[in-house]
């Protein structure tokens, strides 16, 4: 290998690593965004129109894909290997996704913590003498940042003369979490019974959510080391793959058509193992119960008490 080839390989590896860092930073700006709503929620909220954050996320994802496609074409042109272009584009998109998947549990804990704070404040508003709808509307300005968008959408639906039950059910779809379903179920029951005990129920529910947040944080603290090991394994695999491509003599047998097929199998196997590792390190959300299991039904269904 000549010095020129080595310099070109190192420069290409640095360029791809820099692109991955840019994508990682770009994606990190969207960490505070709510999870993508379900298909039913998107249909029911179509009248609200996209928010500025939604439009920014669409533009961000389009920019990432264009960047990955351009880098893939450049790698294909520089090496003459189509698999190299495919692997480069997949790395720019996939590595930040793999790393981001190792911290979604922390985001989910923050959302539950914000839900606990909002429920506590909502209970105070209800105890002060306001009705459920009025208290929900007044709570919009008190919602924590982690669930602010979902609460704002809930208030927009109520002000648009939605039935309270329908608005609350789509609110549960927006949050898409079993713990949120527990809160919405209590609000649905309070909306149906209209009794004086809703404030007390919300206060006790906030205490339950606070205890759940503490338990989840303890569990995530125990999982911190395995997640760190998974993160380092992903980075080491990426660095080793880049070093292998730089070593021209080592990778020379893969230059033929059969070698490209074998290289594609190897790269696919590595990618599959990393995705499997991410799935094992990623925590699962609590199962939901406020869902309509009937296919094609866009209308809310009973709570099931």
Q: Per the domain annotation, does 287 fall within a domain? A: no
Is residue 257 domain-shared with residue 210, that is, in the same domain? no
Q: Does residue 134 carry a pLDDT above 80?
A: yes
Q: Tell me the whole-structure pTM to 2 decimals.
A: 0.60
Examine the domain organization and report whether 254 and 119 are in the same domain. Answer: no
Q: Please tell me whether residues 99 and 228 are part of one structural domain.
A: yes
Mean pLDDT to the nearest integer, 152-157: 94
> Can you read off the two tokens belonging to residue 300?
């809310």
In a domain, 161, yes or no: yes
Tokens 């919405």 belong to residue: 184
From 69-78, 197-206, 222-231, the region with the lowest mean pLDDT = 222-231
Quick one: 168 and 36 in the same domain? no
The stretch 84-112 carries a mean pLDDT of 79
Last residue of a domain, one of 214, 240, 259: 214
Asked whether 142 and 119 are in contact (CB, 8 A), the reply is no
pLDDT band at 44 (very low <50, low <70, confident <90, very high): very low
| 250 Cβ neighbours under 8 A, 6+ residues apart | 244
pLDDT at 150 over 90: yes
**Residue at 219 is within a domain:** no
Q: Of the residues 191, 214, 237, which one is the last residue of a structural domain?
A: 214
Residue whose tokens read 């998109």? 93
Both 201 and 125 in one domain: the answer is yes
Q: How far apart are CA 286 and CA 283, in angstroms?
A: 9
Residue 294 inside a domain? The answer is no
Domain that holds residue 24: 3-106+224-281
Q: Rounded CA gap, 230 and 194, in Å?
A: 50
| pLDDT above 70 for 30 | no
Cα–Cα distance between 236 and 242 in angstroms, integer?
A: 10
Domain boundary among 175, 193, 214: 214
Looking at the fold, whether 10 and 33 belong to one and the same domain comes out as yes
Report the range out of 25-39, 146-160, 184-198, 233-247 with the highest average pLDDT: 146-160
Same domain, 170 and 152: yes
Q: Is 36 helix (H, G, I), strand (E, B) or coil?
A: coil
Q: Is residue 257 part of a domain?
A: yes
Q: How many CB atoms lie within 10 A of CB 63?
A: 13
Look at residue 251 and tell me if it is in a domain.
yes
State the CB neighbour count (10 A cutoff) for residue 205.
22
Q: Indicate if 188 and 245 belong to the same structural domain.
A: no
Q: Are 138 and 55 within one domain?
A: no
115 lies in the same domain as 99: no
Q: What is the dihedral angle through the alpha carbons of 209, 213, 216, 220, rounded to the nearest 10 degrees?
A: 160
The pLDDT of residue 10 is 45
Average pLDDT over residues 295-300: 42
Would residue 291 count as lying in a domain? no
How many independent structural domains does the chain possess? 2
- CATH of residue 165's domain is 1.20.81
Q: How far apart are CA 65 and CA 67, in angstroms?
A: 5
Q: Same domain, yes or no, for 122 and 207?
A: yes
What are the φ and ψ backbone dihedral angles of 197, each rounded to 5 degrees?
-90, 5
Alpha-carbon distance 198 to 126, whole Å? 7
Does residue 301 lie in a domain region? Answer: no
Q: How far apart are CA 251 and CA 248, in angstroms?
A: 5
Q: Are residues 85 and 8 in the same domain?
A: yes
């Amino acid at each position: 290998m000549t010095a020129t080839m080595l310099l070109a390989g190192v420069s290409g590896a640095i360029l791809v690593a820099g692109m991955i860092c840019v994508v990682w930073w770009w994606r990190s700006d969207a960490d505070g965004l709510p999870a993508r709503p379900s298909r039913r929620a998107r249909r029911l909220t179509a009248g609200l129109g996209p928010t500025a954050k939604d439009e920014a996320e669409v533009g961000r994802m389009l920019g990432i894909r264009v960047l990955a496609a351009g880098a893939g074409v450049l790698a294909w042109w520089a090496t003459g290997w189509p698999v190299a272009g495919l692997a480069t584009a997949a790395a720019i998109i996939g590595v930040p996704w793999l790393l981001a998947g190792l911290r979604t549990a922390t985001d989910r804990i923050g959302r539950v913590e914000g839900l606990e704070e909002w429920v506590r404040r909502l209970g105070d508003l209800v105890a002060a003498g306001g009705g459920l709808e009025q208290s929900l509307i007044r709570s919009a300005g008190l919602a924590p940042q982690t669930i602010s968008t979902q609460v704002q959408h809930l208030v927009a639906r109520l002000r648009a003369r939605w039935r309270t039950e329908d608005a609350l059910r789509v609110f549960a779809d927006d949050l898409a979490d079993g713990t949120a379903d527990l809160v919405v179920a209590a609000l649905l029951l309070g909306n149906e019974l209209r009794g004086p005990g809703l404030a007390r129920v919300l206060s006790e529910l906030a205490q339950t959510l606070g205890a759940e947040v503490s338990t989840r944080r303890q569990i995530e603290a125990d999982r911190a080391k395995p997640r760190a090991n998974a993160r380092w394994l992903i980075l080491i695999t990426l660095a080793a793959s880049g070093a292998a491509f730089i070593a021209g003599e080592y990778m020379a047998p893969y230059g033929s058509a059969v070698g490209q097929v074998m290289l594609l199998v190897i790269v696919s196997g590595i990618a599959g193992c990393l995705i499997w590792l991410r799935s094992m390190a990623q925590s699962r959300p609590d199962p939901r119960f406020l869902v309509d299991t009937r296919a094609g039904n866009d209308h809310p269904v009973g709570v099931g008490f």
